[in-house]
C-alpha cells in the first residue's frame, strides 16, 4: 500500500464513516476494517447501551448501525420468536440480517440473544458479483495463525458447513452465502470474546455433501442444476474450503478440520451398476480433505485433521467436550425420535458414540436441535439454496445457511450460543 493509499484510508477511518460503509467501499469485510482500526488506534465512537428493561436484559446500538438485544423468557426462543421481536422494535425481519442464540439462566429460564441486527444490504455480497477467477487467484494466500492466548472461560468455537452441494442450483449464490456466513462467524466470535469467553480453538467441519455429484430426483436435473462436471465441482469445493481456512484459521491459536462421509460424493467406477460402488471409504469429501491437508499441513501446523477411513461416525474432542459428527444419510427416519432410536443401537458397540456429549448431523436440509439428556444434538442447515424435490413432495422449505456454536464445560449441555449464519 502506498503512502497516499495509507493516508486516504486514514481519512476514511477518521471521518465518521461506519465500518459497514467502509467495508462496502473497499470491497472487504467488516472484520478486516475493525482489525485495521485496532492496528492504527482509530476507534469508532463508543456504542450506546440503553438501560435494561429488567435485570439482565439489555440492548446496544452501535455507531455502524447494528443493534443487539438480550431478553429473558421461561422457554428458549425459536427463530420465529426472534422475528416477532424484531417487529416490536420497528423493523421488518425480512429486510434485516441477524444472528441469534440463547443460554440457560442458572436461576431458571433462558437469556435470548439477538445480535448484529442490520439492514440486509449491509456487507452482503451480491451473488452476481462473485468473481470465480479472482477468488481462485487470491485464495491460497495464507497468513500465519495467531499465537495469542485469549483469557476467559475456556471454550472452543465450531463452524459447520453442511450440504454445500456445489454446483447445484446457483453456485454463485451458495458461495456468497458461505462467504457472508464466515465473516459473520468471525464477528460472532469477537463478540463472545468481548463477553468473557476464552476462545482459542476453532473446529471447522465439513458435515457432508460438499458437491452435488449425483443426478438427483428429476431426469433433467443434471441439465438444470449442474453448472459444472465433477472436476469443476471438486475444484470449487477446494477453492471455498481453502478460502474458509485462510480466513478463519489465523484468528485462532489451535484448529481442527473434520470431515465426514456422505452420499452425494461417493466415488464409483465404470462397468455397470453392480460394479460401480467400491466401498464406504471412497468419497469425494474425504479425498478433498486429504488434498487440503497435503497443501496446508506445513502452512498451518496447528490444524488437527480428522478424516475417517470408512467410518460413518467421526469423533474428536474440543475444550474437553467429546464431539460426534456424521452426515445423517444412514439414519432411518427424521427428527429427535429417529435419532434417539439410531443412537440406541450405536452405543451398544461403539464406545465413542456412548461417550459423545454433543452430536452434529445434517442431510435433512433444515436446522433443528434437541437435548437428549446424555447428549445434545444439532442438525445443521444446508448451505445450498434448498431442494426443489423436498418442496414439491412435502411442501417444506428451510432457510439456508451455516451453523456455529460454542462447546465447553461452561454449560450443563456442553454447548451454547448457537447461531444461524
pLDDT, position 356: 93
| 96-104 vs 110-119, strand pairing mode | antiparallel
Least confident of 139-143, 256-260, 339-343: 139-143
Which of 95, 119, 143 terminates a domain? The answer is 119
Backbone φ and ψ for 40, nearest 5 degrees, come out as: -100, 0
* Same-domain check for residues 137 and 276: yes
What nine digits make up the cell of 228?
459444472
* Same-domain check for residues 247 and 308: yes
What is the value of pTM for the model shown?
A: 0.66
* Same-domain check for residues 216 and 112: no
* Same-domain check for residues 183 and 72: no
pLDDT tens-digit series, residues 309-339: 888 899 999 999 999 998 888 888 888 888 8
What CATH number is attached to the domain comprising 382?
Answer: 3.60.21.10
- E strand segments, 248-401: 254-259, 303-306, 314-318, 321-325, 358-361, 368-371, 376-379
* Same-domain check for residues 97 and 165: no
Mean pLDDT of the chain: 78
- pLDDT higher than 70, residue 16: no
Question: What's the CA gap between 224 and 165, in Å, rounded?
Answer: 14
* Same-domain check for residues 79 and 190: no
More confident residue, 252 or 394: 252
Distance of CA 59 to CAs 2, 49, 112, 305, Å? 41, 6, 12, 40
The 321-325 sheet, strands edge to edge: 314-318, 321-325, 358-361, 376-379, 368-371
Do 338 and 374 touch, CB atoms closer than 8 A? no
Question: What's the CA gap between 188 and 79, in Å, rounded?
Answer: 17
pLDDT tens-digit series, residues 184-209: 999 899 899 999 999 999 999 998 87
> Does residue 274 fall inside a structural domain?
yes
* Same-domain check for residues 187 and 323: yes
More confident residue, 224 or 63: 63
Q: Which of 375, 355, 378, 414 is nearest to 154 (CA)?
A: 414
Domain count, the chain: 3
Question: What's the CA gap between 182 and 225, in Å, rounded?
Answer: 25
391-396 average pLDDT score: 70
> Does residue 124 fall inside a structural domain?
no
pLDDT, position 409: 94
> Does residue 157 fall inside a structural domain?
yes
Which of 72, 87, 119 terminates a domain? The answer is 119
**What is the domain extent for residue 379?**
132-420
Residue 4: pLDDT band (50, 70, 90) is very low
What nine digits make up the cell of 104?
440457560
Which of 119, 148, 168 terminates a domain? The answer is 119
Q: Which of 398, 399, 163, 381 is nearest to 263 (CA)?
A: 163
Residue keyed to cell 484459521:
249
DSSP helix/strand/coil, 297? coil
> Does residue 11 fall inside a structural domain?
yes
- The CA dihedral of 171, 307, 242, 177, to the nearest 10 degrees, is 40
* Same-domain check for residues 101 and 209: no
* Same-domain check for residues 71 and 198: no
* Same-domain check for residues 77 and 149: no
More confident residue, 269 or 161: 161
> Does residue 143 fall inside a structural domain?
yes
* Same-domain check for residues 272 and 384: yes
pLDDT tens-digit series, residues 64-81: 677 889 988 888 888 778
> Does residue 45 fall inside a structural domain?
no
* Same-domain check for residues 77 and 165: no
> Does residue 358 fall inside a structural domain?
yes
Amino acid at each position: 500500500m502506498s503512502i497516499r493509499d495509507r493516508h486516504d484510508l486514514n481519512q476514511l477511518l477518521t471521518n465518521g464513516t461506519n465500518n459497514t460503509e467502509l467495508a462496502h467501499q473497499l470491497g472487504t469485510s467488516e472484520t478486516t476494517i475493525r482489525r485495521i482500526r485496532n492496528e492504527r488506534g482509530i476507534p469508532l465512537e463508543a456504542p450506546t447501551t440503553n438501560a435494561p428493561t429488567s435485570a439482565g436484559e439489555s440492548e446496544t446500538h452501535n455507531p455502524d448501525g447494528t443493534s443487539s438485544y438480550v431478553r429473558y423468557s421461561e422457554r428458549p426462543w425459536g427463530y420465529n420468536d426472534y422475528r416477532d421481536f424484531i417487529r416490536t422494535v420497528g423493523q421488518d425481519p425480512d429486510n434485516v440480517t441477524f444472528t441469534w442464540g440463547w443460554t440457560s439462566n442458572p436461576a431458571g429460564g433462558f437469556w435470548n440473544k439477538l445480535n448484529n441486527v442490520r439492514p440486509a444490504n449491509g456487507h452482503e455480497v451480491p451473488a452476481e458479483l462473485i468473481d470465480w477467477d479472482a477468488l481462485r487467484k487470491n485464495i491460497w494466500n495464507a497468513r500465519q495463525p495467531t499465537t495469542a492466548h485469549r483469557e476467559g472461560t475456556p471454550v472452543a468455537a465450531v463452524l459447520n458447513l453442511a450440504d454445500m452441494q456445489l454446483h447445484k442450483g446457483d453456485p454463485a449464490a451458495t458461495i456468497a452465502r458461505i462467504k457472508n456466513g464466515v465473516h459473520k462467524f468471525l464477528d460472532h466470535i469477537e463478540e463472545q470474546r468481548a463477553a468473557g469467553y476464552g476462545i482459542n480453538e476453532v473446529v471447522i467441519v465439513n458435515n457432508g455433501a460438499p458437491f452435488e455429484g449425483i443426478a438427483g430426483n428429476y431426469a433433467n436435473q443434471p441439465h438444470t442444476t449442474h453448472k459444472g462436471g465433477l472436476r469443476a465441482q471438486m475444484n470449487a469445493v477446494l477453492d471455498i474450503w481453502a478460502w474458509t481456512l485462510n480466513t478463519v484459521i489465523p484468528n485462532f491459536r489451535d484448529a481442527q478440520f473434520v470431515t465426514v462421509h456422505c452420499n452425494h460424493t461417493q466415488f464409483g467406477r465404470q462397468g455397470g451398476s453392480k460394479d460401480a460402488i467400491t466401498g464406504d471409504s471412497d468419497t469425494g469429501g474425504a479425498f478433498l480433505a486429504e488434498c487440503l491437508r497435503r497443501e496446508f499441513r506445513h502452512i498451518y501446523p496447528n490444524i488437527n485433521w480428522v478424516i475417517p477411513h470408512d467410518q460413518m461416525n467421526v469423533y474428536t474432542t474440543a475444550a474437553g467436550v467429546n464431539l460426534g459428527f456424521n452426515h445423517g444419510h444412514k439414519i432411518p427416519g427424521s427428527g429427535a425420535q429417529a435419532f434417539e432410536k439410531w443412537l440406541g443401537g450405536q452405543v451398544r458397540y461403539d464406545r465413542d458414540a456412548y461417550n459423545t456429549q454433543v452430536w452434529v448431523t445434517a442431510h435433512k436440509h433444515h436446522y433443528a436441535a434437541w437435548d437428549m439428556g446424555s447428549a445434545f444434538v444439532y442438525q445443521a442447515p444446508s448451505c445450498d439454496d434448498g431442494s426443489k424435490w423436498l418442496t414439491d413432495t412435502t411442501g417444506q422449505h428451510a432457510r439456508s445457511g451455516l451453523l456455529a456454536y460454542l462447546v465447553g464445560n461452561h454449560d450443563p449441555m456442553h454447548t451454547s450460543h448457537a447461531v444461524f449464519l
